[in-house]
Structure 1
Amino acid sequence: MPPSTMKQWVVQDQEHDFDGLVYTDAAVPKVGENEVLVKLHAASLNYRDLTIPKGIYPFPLSLPVVPGSDGAGEVIEVGPKAVEFKKGDQVATLFNQGHQYAEIDTYSAGTGLGGVIDGTLREYGVFNEQGLVKSPSNLDARETSTLPCAALTSWNALYGLKPLKPGQIVLVQGTGGVSMFGLQFAKAAGATVIATTSSAAKAEKLKKLGADHVINYKTEPNWGDAARKLTPGGTGVDYIIEVGGSGTLKESLKCIKYEGIISVIGFLSGVDPKTQPPVLEALTHICTVRGVYVGSKALMKDMIRAIEANDIHPVVDDKVFSLDQTREAYDYMLAQNHFGKLTIKIN
C-alpha cells in the first residue's frame, strides 16, 4: 500500500520566477475507474519546464500545477475499469495526455502534463491509462524518463509528416535533448547527420555519438552555407531539427533542400520579429516549415519499438538531482551546464 502523503513540487505562480516553485507535502491521489497509480522513480527536465514559472510558456496552463511532463515509474494500483496496465508494469508518461493518435487538435493541445494536468515532479501520480505507455525493455527508469517530450518531439520531426529514409541528410542544432535524440534516431535509420555546436569539446562528444559532420557556429556564423557545402552537389539538407528560433532559422533556410522539412521545436535563441525570416521564405526555398508539438501515443509506441529494436540509449547528463534538489536542477539547466537530458531521481 502507498503511504497517505507524499512530497511534490508546485508552480504556484508566474510572478516570482523560480521562487514560484514550492516544495510541499500533499495527499497521495486516489485512483479513479480508468486510472492507475504510479510510483514515480525518475523525471527529466525540459526547457519548457523553465519557461512556465518564468511566464513565457506559449501553450495552455492551469496554475497552481505540479510541474514536469516527463516521468517513469511502476504501476502500483489499477482502477476497476483500467485494462491496459497491471500492477508491476514499468511505464512512461505521455506529454499531451489526450493526444492518442493522428494530428494534434485543440482538445489534446490543452492536456499538457505539468502545464494543465499535474505532472511528474512528485513521488506518486494518478494518470488516466490513456496517458501512459509501457517503458522500453532495454532502458532503466532514468533513461525512460527522458522520452515523453524531447524524444517524441524529435521522432515526430523525423517521422510525423514524411518518414525519414536511409541515405537522407538530417541537421541537428546543439546538444540539447531533442537534438541528441534526433542524431541517434537518424543514425539508426541510416541517415547522414550534420550537427552544429559551440565548442570543440561538445564537437568531440557529437562525433562519438555518430555525427558525420560537426560545424562550430561560433567560429562559422554562416553555418547554413557551410552545411549546404557538405551535401552531395550542394543540394541541401532533407530535415532540420530547429531549436534556436529567430537566431538560427535564417541559417536553416540557407541549407534546406527543395521539399525539405524544417521542424521548428524551440526558441532557445529568442523570438525577435525583426530578425526572424518572413513566412514567404518557405516559398522561395520550396520547403516545409513546421511547428511540432510533441506527438501522439501511437507515435510514442512506434518510437519505443525503434528504441528497443536498435538498443538506443538516451544521452543523459552525468549529474543527477534528487527530488528535493529540483530547484537546483532548474538553475543548472538554465545555465546550460548539461549535456543531453537532465534527470531527477525520485523513488
Structure 2
Amino acid sequence: MKSFSLPRPGAGLVLGERDTPEPGPGEVLVRLRGWAVNARDLMILKGFYPKPVKPDVVPLSDGAGEVVALGDGVRAWSVGDRVAATYFPDWLSGPGTPEKTADDLGGTLDGVLAEYAVFAEDALVAVPAHLDYAEAATLPSAGVTAWRAVVEEGRLVPGQSVLTLGSGGLSTFALQFAALGGAHVISTSSSDEKLAKLRELGAAETLNHASTPEWGAAVAELTGGGVDHVVDVGGGGTIGQSMLAARYGGHVSVAGVLTHEGAADPVLVLVKQLTLRGLTNASRETFQAMNRAIERSGLRPVIDRRFAFEEVADALKHLESGTHIGKVVLESA
C-alpha cells in the first residue's frame, strides 16, 4: 500500500510502499478514502508542534474510509461500514485527562496518510450517511472541536449570540452549528469576498477585521454589550479582542492558536466575569453526538478544495496560503 511518512520535522513528506497491515484481536482494518489537513499538520511538518511526535510518523489525524477486515472478537463493526477515526483513540467519554489525551493520531501514534490503517475497535465512529468520504474526513478535528465549543461547553441556547473568527474549517463549522442551534451569528474575516460566503452559511452580521482592527469593541457595540459566546482560533493575536467582544458573564472558547504574538489583559476576565476555556478536540462520545445532529439536519461541511491523495504537498500549501474557506481535503478515486 502507499503511505506517507515524515522522517523528521522539516525533512518533508516521503511517499513509500508498505505492507498492508493485518488487524489483530479487537482491531479493524480500514481502507482510507478521504483525508483532511489541519494547521496542526503544518506545525508537525515544520517542527513547531508542542507535543511529542514519534520518529518517521505517518502524518494526519483526520481520515475516513470503509471497514475491509476485522480482527478476532470485533463486534461493533462489519465489513463495508463507513467510519472515521477518533483524534484521541483513548478518550472514549467524559472529561479529558492526561491519560486519555496522551496519544494522538499523527503525533505519538501513526496517523492516517496511508491507503490502509488499523484502528482499535472503539477508536472509530460511524459517519453520517449523506456525506462522502472526504466530507466525513473533515469531522474528527475541526468538526468535533467546534461542536464542543458551541454545544457541549458553550451550552448554546436558541436566541443567543455567537462570534466566529475567520473562515477556516473550525470557524465555518462553529458558524454552521451555531446557526443550526438558532443563534445570532457574527463572523469576521479580512476579506469581503469571504464575508459574503460566511453570510451565505448563516452569519447574520459580518465584520472585516482588517479595516476594523478594534473589532472586539465594534462587536460589543453592535450587540449592545457583547456576545454570549466567542469561538477564538487565533490565540495571542486575537484573544484580547475576543474578551472585549464577549458580554459580561460571557464564554470564550480558545479552540486554536494560530499566532502567539499579542497581549491580553487578564483584568478583563475578572471585571467581565468571563469563562475562558481551552479546547483540544473531544471524546468519542461527543463525536457520536455531533454526527447524529449532522445526519438529522443534513448539514454538509464546507470544503474549499479537493486534492488527490498524492497531492498532499499541494493541499498543505493551499492550507498555509490562508485563502481557503472551510476545509482542504484529499480523496482517492
| TM-score > 0.5, shorter chain as reference | yes
CA offsets per residue over residues 291-319 of structure 1, 9 Å max, x none?
101000000111001101111000001x3
- C-alpha distance in structure 2 between counterparts of 1:21 and 1:184, whole Å: 33
Whether 2:299 is the aligned partner of 1:304: answer: no
Residue 53 of structure 1, CA deviation: 1.4
Relative distance call for 1:103 and 1:280 in structure 2 (3 A) is: farther
1:52-131 matched pairs, under 5 angstroms = 52-131=44-123
3-state secondary structure, aligned to 1:108 = coil
Q: Which residue in 1 is equivalent to 2:306? A: 320
- Residue 273 (structure 2) pairs with residue 283 (structure 1): no
Structure 1 stretches of 4+ with a deviation exceeding 6 A read: none
Give 1:209 shift. Answer: 0.8
Amino acid at match of 2:289: D
Contact 2:52-2:107 within 8 A present in 1 as well: yes
Distance in 1 between residues matched to 2:49 and 2:265, nearest whole Å? 22
Q: Is the 8 A contact 1:236 1:256 kept in 2?
A: yes
| Contact kept? 1:60, 1:110, Cα under 8 Å | no
- Give the CA deviation at 1:162: 4.2
Q: Equivalents in 1 of 2:219, 2:265: separation in Å? A: 22
Structure 1, unpaired ranges of 5+: 1-5
Amino acid at match of 1:337: T
Could you say what secondary structure the match of 2:277 adopts?
strand
- Across the aligned residues of Structure 1 and Structure 2, the Cα RMSD in angstroms comes to 1.2
Q: Does 1:141 align with 2:133?
A: yes
Structure 1 residue 333 and structure 2 residue 328: aligned? no
Q: Deviations over 1:220-262 (max 9, x none)?
A: 111111111222xx23111111011111111111111122111
Checking the alignment, whether the CA contact within 8 Å between 2:240 and 2:265 is kept in structure 1 is no
Match of 1:3?
none
What residue number does 2:2 align with? Answer: 7
Output the CA distance in 2 between the equivalents of 1:89 and 1:167: 38
Report if the CA contact (8 A) 1:242-1:248 is conserved: yes
Q: Does residue 251 in structure 1 map to residue 238 in structure 2?
A: no
- Identical aligned residues as a percent: 39
Asked whether the 8 Å contact 1:41–1:73 carries over to 2, the reply is yes
Tell me which moved more, 278-287 or 252-261: 278-287
**Is residue 198 of structure 2 the alignment partner of residue 225 of structure 1?**
no
- Cα distance in 2, alignment partners of residues 116 and 279 from structure 1: 33
Q: Give the deviation of 1:278 after TM superposition.
A: 4.4
Q: TM-score, normalised by structure 2?
A: 0.97
The residue identity in structure 1 corresponding to 2:127 is: S
CA distance in 2, matches of 1:228, 1:278: 17
2:260 corresponding residue in structure 1: 271
The answer as to whether partners of 1:246 and 1:267 remain within 8 angstroms in 2 is yes
Distance 1:284 1:152, change over 3 A: same
Find the residue that maps to 1:60 and give its secondary structure: coil
- Are the counterparts in 1 of residues 254 and 277 from structure 2 also a CA contact under 8 Å? yes
- Residue among 232, 243, 261 paired with 1:242: 232
**2:229 aligned partner, one-letter code:** Y
Letter in 1 for 2:110: D
3-state secondary structure, aligned to 2:33: strand
Offset of 1:279 from its aligned partner? 4.0
Residues in 2 aligned to 1:194 and 1:177: alpha-carbon distance in whole angstroms: 16
Report the equivalent of 2:252: 262
Answer with 280-289 or 123-132: which moved more: 280-289
Hey, what's the Cα distance between the residues in 2 that align with 1:109 and 1:244? 22
Paired letter, 1:267: V
How many Å separate the matches in 2 of 1:220 and 1:162? 26
Deviation at 1:346, TM superposition (A): 2.7
TM superposition score normalised by structure 1 = 0.93
Q: Which moved more, 1:124-133 or 1:333-342?
A: 333-342
Cα distance per residue 1:158-182 (max 9 Å; x no partner): 1232411100111000000000000
CA distance in 2, matches of 1:163, 1:82: 35
Q: Equivalents in 2 of 1:332, 1:162: separation in Å?
A: 31
Please give the alpha-carbon distance, in whole angstroms, between the structure 2 residues aligned to 1:164 and 1:32: 42
